[in-house]
Amino acid sequence: MDSMTIIAIASIITAGLTIAIGSIGPALGEGRAVATALSSLAQQPDSAATITRTLFVGLAMIESIAIYCFVVSMILLFANPFWNHVIALAAGK
């Protein structure tokens, strides 16, 4: 196996793991945040506007983690800097 194939396989496996692990945490966090917000709304319905606004800001922060994982996996698949390094080494030989 040449080095390009090894880098391609490692990039694909790492991108898959990044998406898999990187989406589990935000999904659990969003579920817990929504459950806590609904519990708070049931206890204090007068504070619905404040709780809802804070919930949406928190959900946006949590979702950004999943988006960062997606960006990292796309970089590994389509703009991998290691491929340029190997191509430069191969051209130098």
Counting the structural domains of the chain, the total is 1
* CB contact at 8 A, 66 and 22: yes
Does 91 or 75 have the greater pLDDT score?
75
**Mean pLDDT to the nearest integer, 11-32:** 93
Provide the terminal-to-terminal Cα distance of the chain, rounded to the nearest Å: 18
Q: Is residue 93 part of a domain?
A: no
The CATH number linked to 63 is 1.20.20.10
Q: Is residue 48 part of a domain?
A: yes
**Distance (Å, rounded) from C-alpha 15 to C-alpha 88?**
23
The tens digit of pLDDT for each residue in 54-66 reads 999 999 999 999 9
Q: Over 90: is that where the pLDDT of 89 sits?
A: no
Six-digit token string for 66: 């999943």
Domain holding 81, by residue range, is: 3-88
Q: Is residue 54 part of a domain?
A: yes
